[in-house]
Structure 1
Amino acid sequence: MYNYRIIQWKKDGTANGQVVACGKGAGNGLNQLNSPTDSRRSGTTQGEILIDNVACYGLTMDDQRYLYVSDELKHEEKRYQLGEKNGTIVAGGKGQGAGLSQFNCPSYLFVDRQQNVYVSDNENHRAMKWAKCAKEGIVVAGGQGFGNALAQLYRPHGLYVDALDSRSKTRLTIIVG
């Protein structure tokens, strides 16, 4: 059972959340959502179409206000300037597969300050890092088949990259669910 809505909970200890988007059932209307998995806060009170014709699974925004979108059906990650409709492929885009230039159902993504793109590659059971302008990525977690061993992941559904110091050393946190 899906809720087709986005609910906000405040940190003040309130037990009930507030619906901040949709609640009108599944659909493509400006007042509807279809299996939402991620959101960004814009401050608007009305729906707006930022990008269409995309199977958006995850999205994020970098320090320079570029919007990054994970398209699970095209197996690619694109970067958009706000207002732009076409975008630029920054990871994947070589069709579905297990190669270092491919994804198999990419889901969540994270972009660091150097515009490196980190992607949860769901069906390949791995997390990948794509440097800015790279033609292929590197596996940073998993990639050894699915499972629960230290070198394995099972359908990673989220990730977060934490900068540890000014020399750009990072720690990668993977959420599996």
Structure 2
Amino acid sequence: MDEQYQDVIPLFARSKLLVNNGNGIGAFATSLGFPTLFIKHSPYQSIHSSHLNAVLIPSIYHKFNTIPDFLESLELSFSPPCILPYDFVLNYSSVGISLLSLTKYPTHIFSDSLKQALDLSNLFSSQPFTMNSFDSFIHTESNLLFWNTFNQLASKQVKTWHSKQYLTVSNSFLDYFSSCL
């Protein structure tokens, strides 16, 4: 949908789920509380970690066509010397780092993540908000392991941007890619 010609805000009814890359209107919609499934392609440094109403399928970074290892992927994502490495060619491609194509992800990651995001959406619409009602999404062992690893690898400045880590990383993504964490 081209946001230049159509106002997308009315499309975000509370009963719907937005599937988005987390940039632009997706970040805006999530910040307003619309349930969202992020399928990210941008650096980990710019993940909107404070949003409780979203499920994330992160990018997998790998080097020289190796089989992706999630710990290595996180290390590679934080390898550039700059704080926000948006120039992918300069910061990643030039040293042999690329992103694993989404077509290489097992399809069950997308279907399971969509179901997880819909469950989260239903939780938002079915009861009054309390942090305790969302513990089952935030405080899973694999999600906590992801954020602990993220904090170990991120620079001090990046850590301050992500002081609230409510964003849920897809369970099926973590189950599949985190065997080495």
TM-score when normalising by structure 1: 0.24
TM-score when normalising by structure 2: 0.24
- Name whichever structure is richer in helix by fraction: 2
Q: Which protein, 1 or 2, shows the higher relative CO under an 8 Å CA cutoff with sep ≥ 6?
A: 2
